[in-house]
Amino acid sequence: MASLNVGNLGEFLREQRRTAQLSLRQLADAAGVSNPYLSQIERGLRKPSAEILQQLAKALRISAETLYVQAGILDERRVPDGSGVQTAILTDPSLNERQKQVLLQIYESFRKENGLGGGVPDGGTAPRSGDGPEDGDHPHETEADGGPHAT
How confident is the model over 5-59, as pLDDT tens digits? Answer: 455 899 999 999 998 999 999 999 999 999 999 999 999 999 999 899 999 999 9
Q: Is the pLDDT of residue 64 over 90?
A: no
Q: Please, what is the Cα angle at 112 between 110 and 113, to 5 degrees?
A: 60
Chain centroid offset of residue 73 CA: 16
Q: Could you tell me the pTM of the whole model?
A: 0.51
Rg from Cα positions in the chain: 19
Structure confidence at residue 146 (pLDDT): 47
Q: Is the pLDDT of residue 67 over 50?
A: yes
Residue 47 — φ and ψ, nearest 5°? -105, 110
Q: How far apart are CA 15 and CA 113, in angstroms?
A: 33
> Do residues 97 and 20 touch, judged by C-beta distance below 8 A?
yes
Helix (H) / strand (E) element for 151: namely: none
